[in-house]
Amino acid sequence: MSKESRRLPDLFGSMVFDEETMKDRLSPSCYKAWKKSVSDSIPLDISTANEIAEAMKQWAVEKGATHYTHWFQPMTGVTAEKHDSFIQPAGGGRVVMEFSGKELVRGESDASSFPSGGLRATFEARGYTAWDPTSFAFIKEKSLCIPTIFCSYSGHALDKKMPLLRSMDAVSKEAVRILRLFGNNTAKRVIAQVGSEQEYFLIDKELYKQREDLIMTGRTLIGAKPPRGQELEDHYYGAIRPRVQSYMQDLDNELWKLGVLSKTKHNEVAPSQHEMAPIFTDANMACDQNQITMEMMKKVADRHGLVCLLHEKPFAGVNGSGKHDNWSLGTDTGENLFKPGSTPRENAQFLLFLTAFIKGVDEYQDMLRATVATPGNDHRLGAQEAPPAVVSIFMGEELSAVIESIIDDTAYTNAGKRTLAIGVDTMPPIPMDNTDRNRTSPMAFTGNKFEFRMVGSSLSISGPNIVLNTMMAEELGRFADELEKSDDFHHDLNALIRRELTAHKRIIFDGNGYDEAWIEEAKRRGLCNNISTVDALPAYITDKNIELFTSHSIYTRDEVYARYNIHVENYTATISMEARTLIDMLRKEILPAVSRYGSTLCRGVEKRKALGFPAKYEEMNALNNCMLTDCLSDACDKLEKDLRIVPSDPEEAMRYCHTVIVPDMNECRSFADELESITARDAWPIPVYSDLLFSEI
């Protein structure tokens, strides 16, 4: 075993105040009290909090920390932190290092500058952070980071963690009810488990600094397609270039120190695109760790003279970046509830959980789509590189056949493969290892989990997992209500599964999601096709979806509307920012450069004619330049004019940006990209796609 391999177990989690560290540093009674607080969701008494805070401070100071911060996830989609030092005056000009249980458990933050979606007035500044004891504290850049929830003075959730924790409790409660019906009296909790793959681009930092659009918006607002893209399909899983390999090794080390289960790394489909995938963990920790991962990806890239782009579509014409959210449910005793088992009870249980998921996705497909609706993801979904905007579930040929046989009440045969009897006479056996992969499916069953492939690379995974957890809580609760009253459990279980699969089989589709025929078929089935963010966001405020969240105490009605309002305002802000950036680039860089180049072409024509040579080719180039420059200037004028009259009403502004500003920007881009294709390389003022995607990094 190499020296590096030997030190990896010691490196992993070395900057995390994890359970083993707590066990070593806390008294047995304090450690037991913390464990009970986590398992039973009860608050810590102040003496226990004080002991944990002191141990946490001592450990952090030994690791070189000087400050602490309540690390939280406001509704910006990124993390926030305010740092306070451990120092306290000790008299005589000296200081001591102190950290109390009160400071650990609760902090106060100015909440006025974070998005609240109308939950509070701007002048209502007070917000509170409260320690989440289920997520371990960690040290980042000499600060002890304490994962916390973030709420307003009135108690409204202003973050993404509090609703996620509520949804995890909700699905656990209802899933345990189902387990009891199957005779499982051992499991005390069901845990939503998540593994989030993360795609990203790496480009050279010096080239990045020459592109105002990348700096301001994270994507290229103009850029002609290069001679070579991803046609050769040689980048996917290809040999990793040395500079990128060095970056990935550095990133792994930083993530491992922070306890992030970084497992897999490889080149993705597009040039300069890559992926990192972690090992599964509980949904709360997975969301925390994905935020850490995105932050570290950017910081480590900077150390290597690179820039990490997390936008869903940094470059037109090549694949964008997603974040596959792999979701499952497991018991605290280690049982995966989406895995067919070896006994009749386990397989009947599997089918019931599977049915609940299918029903939930069908009934809340619009809400699942809304959770991934952003201006960036609009460029990606349905673009023959990612799933369509229509939500459907891929089950695989054999499992789909099992479902059909249940619906039709017919025998199922599976020649040549192992099958498992489920013990209910009218139900067929379940084949094991029955699924292939379908990269065109938005929601694919992959053996013991579901892979939600619509999530954009820059998004927090909290939103999708909140909906997945809550919809399962709803369906499992309904099933439990019915089956708990049953006098003939097996008969009624069979009837319930057949009834619900029949009612919701429209959501199952195993074919090619990129095929236009599927979009027509989905329409015939009555499935939603909310193509854009503007189409998708209203799902937040339908009565059905508000009832889902409020009935399980995930959000209040006001909290649902707040999130809708924030997404609406974010859409307009993003599109307006992109439009202003594009205007700035066109006015200050592109138009002056192409005008100068046009003048150069005209002088060349005049010179050739003066010398008595024909200048047909040169005249054609000069004419094309002049015509396109005029068209680009006119298009830029129109964009600028339309941008001045964005409506003041938020919803009207969102729709206006979608129907007016976005087409204006596309028009500008079409002329700019054509000009790039006929302009000499040394006359074009910014790095082109060939530079950005194929530089020797």
pLDDT, tens digit (0-9, with 9 covering 90-100), for 370-379: 999 999 999 9
Domain with CATH 3.10.20.70 in the chain: 11-159
Q: What pLDDT is attached to residue 211?
A: 98
461: tokens are 């995974």
Q: What pLDDT is attached to residue 422?
A: 46
Q: Compute the residue count for the chain.
A: 697
Nearest to 122 by CA among 111, 112, 135, 133: 112
355, pLDDT greater than 80: yes
Tell me the pLDDT band of 299, cut-offs 50, 70 and 90: very high
Asked whether the beta carbons of 261 and 272 are under 8 A apart, the reply is no
Tell me the pLDDT band of 384, cut-offs 50, 70 and 90: low
Domain with CATH 3.30.590.10 in the chain: 198-322
- Dmax (CA) for the chain in angstroms is 103
247: tokens are 């970056």
Tell me the pLDDT band of 116, cut-offs 50, 70 and 90: confident
pLDDT tens track for 269-282: 889 999 999 999 99
Cα gap 141→538, rounded to integer Å: 41
Highest CATH level, class, for 198-322: alpha beta
Asked whether the beta carbons of 457 and 323 are under 8 A apart, the reply is yes
Q: Based on the number of CB atoms within 10 Å of its own CB, is 155 exposed (0-12), middle (13-18) or buried (19 or more)?
A: exposed
Q: What share of the chain is helix, strand, coil (3-state, %, to 5)?
A: 50, 15, 35
pLDDT tens track for 653-681: 999 999 999 999 999 999 999 999 999 99
Nearest to 105 by CA among 44, 160, 56, 51: 44
Q: What pLDDT is attached to residue 411?
A: 62
Q: What is the pTM assigned to this prediction?
A: 0.93
Domain with CATH 1.20.120.1560 in the chain: 570-694
* Average pLDDT in the chain: 90
Nearest to 321 by CA among 333, 331, 313: 313
Name the pairing type of β-strands 393-394 and 443-445: parallel
Write out the E strands in 153-207. Answer: 190-196, 198-204
Phi, psi for 240 (deg, rounded to 5): -80, 130
333: tokens are 């005793």
Cα gap 672→669, rounded to integer Å: 5
Cα gap 468→554, rounded to integer Å: 12
Cα gap 455→368, rounded to integer Å: 10
Cα gap 312→325, rounded to integer Å: 15
Q: What pLDDT is attached to residue 529?
A: 95
Specify the 3-state DSSP secondary structure of 93.
Answer: coil
Q: Which residues partner with 326 through β-bridges? A: 195, 451
361, pLDDT greater than 70: yes
660: tokens are 């007016």
Cα gap 55→57, rounded to integer Å: 5
Give how far Cα 562 sits from Cα of 119, 176, 461, Å: 6, 31, 18
576: tokens are 């307006």
**Number of Cβ within a 10 Å radius of residue 135:** 20
Looking at domain 570-694, which CATH architecture does it have?
Answer: Up-down Bundle (1.20)
Nearest to 683 by CA among 631, 625, 628: 625
Q: In terms of DSSP H, where are the helices of 258-305?
A: 283-303
Q: What pLDDT is attached to residue 421?
A: 46
Asked whether the beta carbons of 470 and 367 are under 8 A apart, the reply is no
Q: What pLDDT is attached to residue 438?
A: 67
**Number of Cβ within a 10 Å radius of residue 223:** 24
Q: What pLDDT is attached to residue 585?
A: 98
What is the residue type of 554?
I
CB within 8 A of 416, min separation 6: which ones? none
**CATH for 11-159, options being 3.40.50.970, 3.30.1360.150, 3.40.50.720, 3.10.20.70:** 3.10.20.70
Tell me the pLDDT band of 420, cut-offs 50, 70 and 90: very low
Task: Tell me what percent of the residues of the chain surpass a pLDDT of 70.
Answer: 90
Cα gap 24→172, rounded to integer Å: 30
pLDDT tens track for 61-109: 999 999 999 999 988 888 999 899 998 887 787 877 889 999 999 887 7
Question: Half-sphere exposure of 252 toward its Cβ, with a 13 Å CA cutoff?
Answer: 19
Q: Which residues partner with 203 through β-bridges? A: 307
Q: What value, to the nearest 5°, has the Cα angle with vertex 653 and ends 651 and 657? A: 120
Range of weakest confidence among 431-440, 485-494, 527-536? 431-440
